[in-house]
Amino acid sequence: MNAPRQHEPVRWGILGTGGITRSLLRGARRTDAVDVVAVGSRTLDRAAEYAREHGIARAHGSYEALLADPDVEAVYISLPNSLHHPWTVRALQAGKHVLCEKPYTRRHTDVAAAFEAAEHAGLVLCEAFMWRHHPQARAIVEMLPEIGELQTIRATFSFVLDRPNDIRLRADLDGGSLMDVGTYCVSGARLLTGEEPELVFGTQVLGPSGVDVRFNALLRFPGGAIAEIMSSFETDHRGLEAIGSEGTIRLTNPWLPTDPDPILIRDGVETPIGFADSYQLELEDVSAAIREHRPTLLGRADAMGQARAIEALYRSADSGLPVRL
Ligand SMILES: NC(=O)c1ccc[n+]([C@@H]2O[C@H](COP(=O)([O-])OP(=O)(O)OC[C@H]3O[C@@H](n4cnc5c(N)ncnc54)[C@H](OP(=O)(O)O)[C@@H]3O)[C@@H](O)[C@H]2O)c1
């Protein structure tokens, strides 16, 4: 097969047919940079039904078969958390670029192994924190100097999870509220400080299935800022707020910015951000990185920072003690 030209869309395969793939496909339909050509599921029936529903050319009855499809250049992995790393490694071994759903892992050694494999093979690997691709993420960072010294960050993301069989409640699949929505709060605190935490203290409430259904934490950053984060499956709340010596900035809808469109509020003054599809922007970023041989917005350092922080937070919650990184 001839090497694809720079302007040709990247040919993507969808690995797993879970709920989030629908948002990604909506983003894919909005851009010429992406062509979704195949889907792989654990059963052929499911793959075929999904391919029919979404107008995808080829359906594979196993993830292995999708990875063996020579026409697929890149795969989007949206499996339960514990399967992200093993299937990313297998995809890289099959010569595919990978966009893998967040959280890539709670083990920083997985991040190192995966990015080493990707770099060695000359392949792109990216953790899918779609919220970072929305213009509001850039807007809040650009406005930060206006509020003086950044002192406190408040980041929350929670929703009521009332599906007892959900993957997020399965300990064997690396579920838990910190792993699911709390990772956005960690990502938000790291973005606003531009640093990695040096000390964390986390405390959790475990549900009947053994995963944290609530997680509250403090993260102290070397520049002096402290982030207060909360994730939960027991209430509905979300926000990202930067409190500085000379004012505050808040995003009304930081993590899922299309639902509804977000507003940035600086000391009571509202700036509407406007519509942008984070999934489209994420796919365009990774596809451009593949075609143009340039880095993705989120690379190894970001995935490593996320995994180290999450790992330390769980260690702290398990031990009841602060953890120094
Ligand atoms: N970025 C975002 O906006 C966002 C939003 C939601 C979720 N996510 C992330 O995306 C991932 C998937 O979440 P989701 O809500 O799409 O989950 P989901 O609806 O439960 O789908 C997970 C899919 O994984 C596959 N799978 C493989 N082994 C499985 C197992 N043992 N149990 C259950 N499913 C299994 C299944 O696909 P097949 O049956 O086709 O094989 C299933 O449809 C998670 O890591 C989550 O954190 C990201």
Nearest CA to ligand 1 atom 4: 20
Amino acid identity of residue 7, one-letter, is: H
- Among 242, 264, 230, residue whose Cα is nearest residue 192: 242
Question: Which atom number of ligand 1 is nearest to the Cα of residue 20?
Answer: 16
| pTM (two decimals) | 0.97
pLDDT at 7: 82
Q: How far is the CA of 93 from the centre of ligand 1 (A)?
A: 22
pLDDT at 258: 76
pLDDT at 304: 98
Active-site residue among 102, 132, 214, 291? 102
Mean pLDDT by 10 residues, the chain (325 residues): 78 98 98 98 98 98 98 98 98 98 98 98 98 96 97 98 97 98 98 98 98 98 98 96 98 86 92 94 98 97 98 98 98
Q: How far is the CA of 69 from the centre of ligand 1 (A)?
A: 21
- Among 205, 235, 198, residue whose Cα is nearest residue 322: 198
Site to probe by mutation for ligand 1, drawn from 101, 169, 258 as the one with most ligand atoms within 8 Å of Cβ, is 101
Helices vs strands, H then E, count in the chain: 10, 15
Q: Which two tokens stand for residue 147?
A: 């509020």
Site to probe by mutation for ligand 1, drawn from 44, 45, 78, 161 as the one with most ligand atoms within 8 Å of Cβ, is 78
Q: Which two tokens stand for residue 30?
A: 């909005």
Q: Which two tokens stand for residue 191?
A: 């973005």
- Among 158, 155, 153, 154, residue whose Cα is nearest residue 214: 158
Q: How far is the CA of 20 from the centre of ligand 1 (A)?
A: 7
Question: Which atom number of ligand 1 is nearest to the Cα of residue 278?
Answer: 3
- Among 79, 308, 80, residue whose Cα is nearest residue 172: 80
pLDDT at 1: 54
pLDDT at 2: 61
Q: Which two tokens stand for residue 106?
A: 């709670």
List the domains of the chain with CATH numbers.
10-131+280-297 (3.40.50.720), 134-276+307-324 (3.30.360.10)
pLDDT at 6: 75
HSE at residue 287, side-chain half, CA atoms within 13 A, is 26
Q: How far is the CA of 58 from the centre of ligand 1 (A)?
A: 20
- Among 277, 256, 261, residue whose Cα is nearest residue 34: 277
pLDDT at 123: 98
Nearest CA to ligand 1 atom 27: 79
Nearest CA to ligand 1 atom 2: 20
Q: How far is the CA of 24 from the centre of ligand 1 (A)?
A: 12
Nearest CA to ligand 1 atom 21: 18
Question: Which atom number of ligand 1 is nearest to the Cα of residue 170?
Answer: 32
pLDDT at 101: 98
Q: How far is the CA of 166 from the centre of ligand 1 (A)?
A: 9
HSE at residue 98, side-chain half, CA atoms within 13 A, is 33
Q: What is the C-alpha separation between 40 and 35, in angstroms, rounded?
A: 15
Residues framing ligand 1 (Cβ under 6 A) = 16-20, 41-42, 46, 78-81, 83, 101-102, 128, 130, 167, 180
**What one-character-per-residue DSSP string does 180-201 give?**
IIIHHHHHHHHHHHTS--SEEE
Cα-based angle 265, 270, 275 (whole degrees, multiple of 5): 95
The number of residues making up the chain comes to 325
Specify whether 102 is catalytic: yes
Query: In 3-state terms, what secondary structure has residue 71?
Result: coil
